[in-house]
Structures are given as structure tokens and as C-alpha cells.
Structure 1
């Protein structure tokens, strides 16, 4: 099944494109295509939040539509601290405007949390205190209990990609001690995806990395089977409507 995935991507993100290409090698008829939205700083300040105004997404989406993508969406995690409603509204608006299936990184994370039956969750992120606190509040309001978290206190989006995998692994080990139902790596510019198999083998806890989650959500929305993707964690064995 030929599927072209359109990803609206933070401009300073250097992780998700190469990782997405690597993950999709198991599906030679699926390709990922990117248009960028200017994002340089992550904080709760007004200028940083304004980067994610709804109208900012449409120029990138218009360009992706030129490639006749089958599914498109926001491959960033701002809805985790700004709230889910705007993300869901954007996905619906893109679907209506371009007549394509839509998803987002956070929509897919939330779908996977439901499929895994996860209520007690843990987060690993690169963000500053204020952003991480908002993430915990957003998920608490949605009925989740955060039992552990680690964050790195960084606000420059480009710098998230400089966090090495062993540092991320140390944070994953730390949150695993609380035995959550699932762990979320909440950042599409963080190198968590390759650690999923190792983590799940070591702790028997699902790891939901946001780069992987977006691809899973895009494939699922397009009606494509993600299960040929192996070695990247158990999330690719999941299908919507089945646990």
C-alpha cells in the first residue's frame, strides 16, 4: 500500500526526519515528507506559545498538500502543554481543508495510551520546569496519574537533539522504578526511539516515543498496517480499536 505521510515539523528539529526514514525502511511503499514551521524556543512565555498559533500551520500544510500526501499532521508536542483541544481542532481543520486523513504526535500518543490501557504514566522530556509542569497538569486533567518524570531544563529546541541516548536511557531507568503502565518520551527532537526495544526488554513497560508514535498514528489513520516495523518497540504491533 503506497502511503505518503506529510509531517509539519518544527524548523529547528534535526531528529525526527532521519529517525522517521530509518523506522520506515521496513515499509518501502511508505514515504515521509516534511514542511517546516518556525520553532526555536520552548517555554511558557507568550512569544514561545505564539509560535503555535493555529494560523501558523497552514502555510506548511499547503506545501504538503502539493505533494498529494495521504495523511498529514503536526509532528511536534506543543499540545502536551497547551492542551489537547487545539490539536484536535487543527487535525479536523486540516482534514476538512485538504480532504486527507490527519493525526498528530500527541493525538497518537494519547491513542496509544488508551490502547495500552495505561493510566499510571511517566514522562521523559528535555523541557524546562514550567513546560514540564504544564504537561503534567494537562495529562492529570485528562485522568492520568503521573507517577514519575524526568526533564532536562533546556529551552532551545535545537539543543534537544544534542542529548545523547545514554543520558535519555538514564532518565528512562529512573522513571521505570515507579512501575508506570507506560513511559512517554515527550519530544520529537529527542533520540528516544532507538531505545524502545532495549527498554521494553529490560522493564516490560511500553515505551511511547513521540517520533514513533506520529508514524504509527499516520499509518493507522491511512489504513496501513504498521506491524512490519519491528525493532522499534511494541507500539507498532498495535492497531486502533484493539489492545
Structure 2
């Protein structure tokens, strides 16, 4: 009789803006060092514009996100993550409530990019931040205000005044690197590339070495946080910046960590 072996690796389900082209390939590459021990899976809901218009903000209502989460749950994922940054201008309570709702509906622990940032910034005692985004000023100013309520001062920021979500992913890594170098002149504790459809992650490590400041990309922050939540060792990810090592140094969730 033939014996079949069933794979039992950890699975994270990522809720993804429909027009995003960056986070899926980057996240999959970040999880690649774990082989069959861990994998990322994606579910989309409609997001095409980031602005403060009623139409744009209406994209982040609970119903379509919850429907996408319920579909992801059918893949029997171990964790669900909203891989997006809307709570950075809507407020962390928005994501806390959404995550609680998804968990209540699916029975699966849920987190988000903004909650991952909050955990990281609290864990390292961040006080000052450089901010790099593709967003409009009307969005950026709300983000800066939200950080101020958390005791974090944005010392310098760069923005592209772009509102089309698909377009965010078309800006070059060279342009993003210039934005990072510009805000680095204010010497903040760290720099955030705040958008999960922005191509900052591949050069984070090189930029950190150049400017001497941690560079925290949203896709990387989400991936590192999810690895910790799944009991995986994020230090196995070595080519995407220091954020993976920094998450490993934070107090970890109660789950048993992956054995080497």
C-alpha cells in the first residue's frame, strides 16, 4: 500500500487591494526561505483609488473585506492579514475592529499592516519617523496627524501626489530611493515606506547601509509580523532589510516558534 504524505506547513492569507501588483510577488519571495514549511495566499477586494473622497473611502467598508476574508478562510489558513495601510489615515481602531470582526466570522486570528507597524514602533520605542508614500497631501497630512496621536513625530516626509492605486506600483525603485534619501536628512529614528503597492522593499537593505537609518517597508513589515504570529523565525529572511531581524528581537507571541 502506498503511503501519501500530507504537507502541514503554515499558511497566511493576505487580503489584497484589487489593483495591487507589488505585494504578492514580494511577499511570496519573502516567504520562500521557508520552503514547504510556510506559504502566503491572497484574496482581493476592490481598491482603485486612494484619496479622501467618499468614493475612495467607501472602498474600505467592512462588507467586501469580510467577504474576501471568508473566501480566504476556505483555504484553511492559519492567519489572515489585511495587507494594506488604510488605518494609517483612518486610525488604528478601524483595523482593530475589522480584525475582530473577521476573527468572529472565520475563527481565524487576524492582523493588519497598520497593527504590524504599531507593534514594531512600540517595541523599539520609536519617537521620530521619516515618511515616504505615493499619496496625496490630503491623505499624507492625516497620516502625520494619526502618528502624532501615537507620540510619533514625522520629522520629514515625501509624497508623489498620486491617487491611482495601480499607478503606485509603476514608480521606479530609483525614484523611491531618492525620496528616502531626502527624508533621511532629518535623521529620524526610522523611515517608513508606507504603501503595500510601492517598490521600496528590494533596496531597503542597501539604503540602510548607505544612510545608517532603519528602512521599514510596508510589505516587509507585514510579512515579518505574520511570520512571528505563525511561530516562524523571521531572521531566515536576509535580503529584504533589517525589519526581519528587528521583529525577531521583539517579545514574541505565545505560539511555539519554528525549530531550525
Say whether the fold is shared (TM-score over 0.5).
Answer: yes
Q: Distance in 2 between matches of 1:213 and 1:92?
A: 20
How do 1:54-65 residues align onto structure 2 when only pairs under 5 Å count? 54-65=62-73
2:227 aligns with 219
Q: Which has the higher contact order (CA 8 A, sep 6+)?
A: 1
2:128 aligns with 120
Structural RMSD (CA): 1.2
1:25 aligns with 32
Aligned residue among 74, 99, 104 for 1:96: 104
Aligned residue among 46, 50, 67 for 2:54: 46
Q: 8 Å contact 1:113–1:182 — kept in the other structure?
A: no
Deviates more, 1:212-221 or 1:233-242: 233-242
Taking structure 2 as the reference length, what is the TM-score of the superposition?
Answer: 0.90
Unaligned runs of 5+ in 1: none
1:191 aligns with 199
1:144 aligns with 152
Unaligned runs of 5+ in 2: 1-7, 253-260
* CA shift for structure 1 position 95: 2.2
1:168 aligns with 176
Q: Distance in 2 between matches of 1:231 and 1:115?
A: 22
Q: Distance in 1 between matches of 2:233 and 2:227?
A: 7
Q: Does 1:154 align with 2:154?
A: no
* CA shift for structure 1 position 115: 2.3
* CA shift for structure 1 position 56: 2.2
Aligned residue among 214, 235, 251 for 1:241: 251
Which protein shows a greater Rg? Answer: 2
Q: Distance in 2 between matches of 1:91 and 1:220?
A: 17
Q: 8 Å contact 2:70–2:105 — kept in the other structure?
A: no
> Deviation string for 1:30-77 (max 9, x for gaps)?
111011010001000111001001222111001100100011021111
Number of matched pairs: 242
Q: Distance in 2 between matches of 1:223 and 1:94?
A: 21
* CA shift for structure 1 position 21: 1.3
2:116 aligns with 108
1:6 aligns with 13
